Structure 1
Amino acid sequence: MYNLETTLDGTKIANNGETILRVNVPHLDISELKDSFYFVPNDNYFTAGSRYRTTSRIRITECGYELLPRVPLYQPSYVNKLGSYGGIDRDYADVPKSLLKTRSFDIMIKEWLASIPYVVESFSIHQIRTTDNGNPTPEGAHRDGTDWTGVYIVNRHNIADTSGATRYWDVKGDLVLDHVFPEGVLINHYDRYFTHCATPIVKVDPDEPSYRDVFVITSPEHGVNRQQETYRREVLTAEA
């Protein structure tokens, strides 16, 4: 049975005592993270509007974080049904190396790791900027085919206060979370238990840029996901 709990450090959804979704606000200098989105390149695989993206595999070391060799991002079509995304290799640039050296990045990652019940040695991170009246999750309500997925809200600029809402459904299809989270909020969830999406953003001032920036963090990293495609399909289709 799912249990929704509000605590001093945020909101949790538990299943038989196990935390499967956590929402909290890490104490960090968000300006360092905002700066990293200035030069995020265009997502050439997205054909339905303006979208910008990087994707990296990161190893956790004793000294911090280091980039792993780049491999294409691959999401099976049973995970991502968007024609230009699912079932193909997508090659993206890495996040800036300077980002990995910031104190704010370290705090964000450690807060994400705090609710994962195993030792994470590597992970994937994606910078995603959605602009104008765009859809942050054009594939609709979906799972990621990972174990744990984190979403950190970095920027909400010149978009309607009611747009860009985060929604989660449980395995029975019941809506368990529907909220517009502000900048600085981190959501982390166990992928097997939920489908999720973000609603389209709505531009306010037509003469000013508008965008929603997020970091998406996943375990395991996407190279492992590709190797485990068959296994993960079985897990995804199994009853949680």
Structure 2
Amino acid sequence: MEMVKQVTSKNTSVITELLKQNQYVFVSGKQMTALLKTNVDQVIRFRNCWNHLERDQYMADGGTYRYRRYGQFVKLPHTSEITMLCHEPYVQPAYINSLNGDIERHFEPLTDRFVTSPILERLLQLMSDIYDGAEGKATKWNIRLHPYRIVADDLEWGQPTPEGLHRDGVTYIASMMINRTNVEGGETTLTDADKNELETLTLERSFDIVMANDEKTMHQVSPIRPENSDKCAYRDVLVIAFTKMED
């Protein structure tokens, strides 16, 4: 994998070009922290939002390992405005999600603290710019946000992608590490549309992120288990889905 070596807030073209060239790109947490111009207080407040997720009651495998919330936004072209949409159930077709597809899943909405975080606003603006660049034009985007916490202990390993290797039925999909505590496993594998492996990597540090063209790649994350069996393990990520909308 060709790494993103140097990125500034004024020039993210290297990220865009790698995304276009390889159909995915990894950006380190250190680089993302610089791009997002964060400070310690903002990071702490943002990470704490993952302590207020609700357990997913829709797991067809019977698992109790996933906590989440859900919300969606629209980003119009040629403007910096990102508008939150009315809260709705989340539905995926069964051909996309073989485990939990074809049902309305009613998740709790995103919290006010999460939605108003300056980190989130900068992140969505940054990603809009990158994806606009990949599309070659300013684009109207539907943005769906899925903050997840996957937990594991000696009795139950956590499954970040219980549906296995899959795509999400969107235009671009991204996963950003928020916190990783007492975790073994959790390796991300990306493949092409024919399931040929492109890369296996581990999101380890806060704000490590992988962005991918969901129409041309597939992905999965291996199960997690505790490093220290005396303590619970958890893996907090933010999954961000961008879908092109008609103008």
- Does TM, normalized by the shorter one, top 0.5? yes
1:154-195, Cα deviation, whole Å (9 max, x unpaired)? 1111112xx100100112322111011212211111111111
Distance 1:135 1:17 in 2: 30
Query: Given that residues 5 and 13 in structure 1 are in contact (C-alpha distance below 8 angstroms), is that contact kept between their aligned partners in structure 2?
Result: no
1:17/1:219 CA distance change after superposition, 3 Å: closer
Hey, which of these two has a bigger chunk of strand by percent? Answer: 1
Query: Given that residues 73 and 142 in structure 2 are in contact (C-alpha distance below 8 angstroms), is that contact kept between their aligned partners in structure 1?
Result: yes
1:208 matched to 2:231? The reply is yes
Query: Displacement, 1:6?
Result: 2.5
Query: Displacement, 1:34?
Result: 1.0
Query: Given that residues 32 and 104 in structure 1 are in contact (C-alpha distance below 8 angstroms), is that contact kept between their aligned partners in structure 2?
Result: no
User: Which secondary structure does the structure 1 equivalent of 2:120 belong to?
Assistant: helix
Code of the aligned partner of 2:234: Y
Distance 1:127 1:196 in 2: 17
User: Which secondary structure does the structure 1 equivalent of 2:50 belong to?
Assistant: coil
| Corresponding residue for residue 123 of structure 1 | 143
Query: Given that residues 112 and 186 in structure 1 are in contact (C-alpha distance below 8 angstroms), is that contact kept between their aligned partners in structure 2?
Result: no
Gaps of 5+ in 1: 225-240
User: Which secondary structure does the structure 2 equivalent of 1:122 belong to?
Assistant: strand
1:20 matched to 2:23? The reply is yes
Code of the aligned partner of 1:193: K
Match of 1:143 among 161, 167, 182: 167
Code of the aligned partner of 1:156: R
Q: Aligned runs of 1:178-217 on 2, under 5 Å?
A: 178-183=200-205, 184-217=207-240
Q: Normalization by structure 1: what TM-score?
A: 0.80
Please provide the CA RMSD for this pair.
2.6
Code of the aligned partner of 2:106: D
Q: Normalization by structure 2: what TM-score?
A: 0.78
Q: Aligned runs of 1:4-83 on 2, under 5 Å?
A: 4-9=1-6, 18=21, 20-25=23-28, 26-27=32-33, 28-29=38-39, 30-46=43-59, 47-60=62-75, 65-82=82-99
Gaps of 5+ in 2: 8-13
User: Which secondary structure does the structure 2 equivalent of 1:36 belong to?
Assistant: helix
